[in-house]
Structure 1
Amino acid sequence: MTSINIKNVSKSYHNYAVLKGLNLDIRDGEFISFLGPSGCGKSTLLFCIAGLEDITSGSILFDGRDITGVSARDRNISLVFQDYALYPHMLVRDNLAFPLRQQKLPEETIRRQIAWAAEMLGLEHVLDRLPAELSGGQRQRVAVGRAIVRNPAALLMDEPLSNLDAGLRVKTRTEIKRLQRELRMTVIFVTHDQEEAMVLSDRIAVMNNGIVQQFAEPMTIYREPANQFVASFIGSPQMNFLPGSRTAGGHGDGRLVGVRPHDLTPLPDAGGTDGFTLTGELALIEPAGPVHYLDVVVGDQIVKATCNDPASLRLGERLTLGAPPNAVYLFDRESGARI
Structure 2
Amino acid sequence: MSSIQIADVSKNYGPVKVLKGIDLQIADGELVSFLGPSGCGKSTLLYCLAGLQEITAGQILFDGRDATHLSPRDRNIALVFQDYALYPHMLVRDNLAFPLRRQRVDKESIKRQVNWAAEVLGIEALLDRYPSELSGGQRQRVAVGRSIVRNPAALLMDEPLSNLDATLRVRMRTEIRRLQRDLKITVLFVTHDQEEAMAMSDRIAIMNAGVLQQFDTPMEVYRKPANRFVAGFIGSPQMNFLPGRSFQSTPDDCIVGVRPHDLVPANGTSAPQGHDLEGDLVLIESVGPIHFLDVLVGDIMLRATCSDPTGLNPGQRISLATAPQKLHHFDAQTGLRI
Residue of structure 2 in register with 1:137 after alignment: 137
How far the C-alpha of 1:87 sits from its partner, in A, is 0.2
Alignment of 1:236-275 (within 5 A): 236-245=236-245, 247-268=246-267, 274-275=273-274
How far the C-alpha of 1:201 sits from its partner, in A, is 0.3
Partner of 1:138, secondary structure, is: helix
Residue of structure 2 in register with 1:297 after alignment: 296
User: 1:287-312: per-residue Cα shift (whole Å, max 9, x none)?
Assistant: 01111000000111210000000011
How far the C-alpha of 1:326 sits from its partner, in A, is 1.2
Distance in 2, matches of 1:299 and 1:84, equals: 49
Alignment of 1:1-339 (within 5 A): 1-245=1-245, 247-268=246-267, 274-339=273-338
User: 1:195-218: per-residue Cα shift (whole Å, max 9, x none)?
Assistant: 110010000000001111000000
The alignment's C-alpha RMSD in Å is 0.9
Distance in 1, matches of 2:35 and 2:90, equals: 34
Contact 2:34/2:189, CA 8 A, preserved across alignment? yes
Contact 1:92/1:126, CA 8 A, preserved across alignment? yes
User: 1:229-259: per-residue Cα shift (whole Å, max 9, x none)?
Assistant: 00000000000001112x2314233111100
Give the residue type in structure 2 aligned to 1:16. Answer: V
**How many residues in Structure 1 have an aligned counterpart in Structure 2?**
336
Distance in 1, matches of 2:65 and 2:212, equals: 23
Contact 1:47/1:53, CA 8 A, preserved across alignment? yes
Give the residue type in structure 2 aligned to 1:279. Answer: E
Distance in 1, matches of 2:78 and 2:35, equals: 20
Partner of 1:311, secondary structure, is: coil
Distance in 1, matches of 2:190 and 2:325, equals: 32
Partner of 1:105, secondary structure, is: coil
Could you list the runs of 5+ residues in structure 2 that have no partner in the other structure?
none
Instruction: Tell me the TM-score normalised to structure 1 length.
Output: 0.98
Distance in 1, matches of 2:174 and 2:336, equals: 34
How far the C-alpha of 1:275 sits from its partner, in A, is 1.6
Give the residue type in structure 1 aligned to 2:88. Answer: P
Distance in 1, matches of 2:298 and 2:226, equals: 27
Distance in 1, matches of 2:248 and 2:276, equals: 8
Contact 1:60/1:67, CA 8 A, preserved across alignment? yes
How far the C-alpha of 1:333 sits from its partner, in A, is 1.2
Partner of 1:46, secondary structure, is: helix
Instruction: Give aligned-pair identity as a percent.
Output: 66
Contact 1:276/1:328, CA 8 A, preserved across alignment? no
Contact 2:273/2:322, CA 8 A, preserved across alignment? no
Distance in 1, matches of 2:262 and 2:238, equals: 12
Give the residue type in structure 1 aligned to 2:15. Answer: N
